[in-house]
Amino acid sequence: MSYNLLRAEDTDSYAHTEDWGEASTLAGVEVGNAVGVTLGRALMKPGCSDPLHAHDNCEEIIYVLSGTLGCQIGDETVILHKGDTLVVPAGLFHNRKNLGDAPAEVLVIFSSGRIESRLA
């Protein structure tokens, strides 16, 4: 039996900084350790949001590890707290905004190994 392991010290290779914070891909085609799913972690700066976007090829699951987020999903805004999970259907425009005064941390899981995104 074979498996793929990404050590914590190696995750910086798959991290990138954005205006709203930083994102790391932990599993997926980009990393080379999974083909059917993508797992990521985002650390969002206080008061910042990622751009409104959609993923036509996959669902996105957002799990809040810390902080409070306002998530625009379609025409609605949903407030998420630590421990909350939101499933975003494929093709639906959405974004996340950190409503707190400390960084917010989320896990994001996609139902595809390769994420396709488009901005609104």
Domain total of the chain:
1
Looking up residue 76, the CATH number of its domain turns out to be 2.60.120.10
Give the Cα separation of 36 and 44 in Å (integer). 26
pLDDT at residue 24 in the model: 94
Residue 48 lies in a domain: yes
pLDDT band at 10 (very low <50, low <70, confident <90, very high): confident
pLDDT at residue 14 in the model: 87
User: What is the token pair recorded at 2?
Assistant: 């074979």
pTM: 0.92
User: What number of other Cβ atoms are within 10 A of residue 16's Cβ?
Assistant: 8
Higher per-residue pLDDT: 14 or 61:
61
Q: Note down the domain range covering 59.
A: 36-114
pLDDT band at 8 (very low <50, low <70, confident <90, very high): confident
pLDDT band at 90 (very low <50, low <70, confident <90, very high): very high
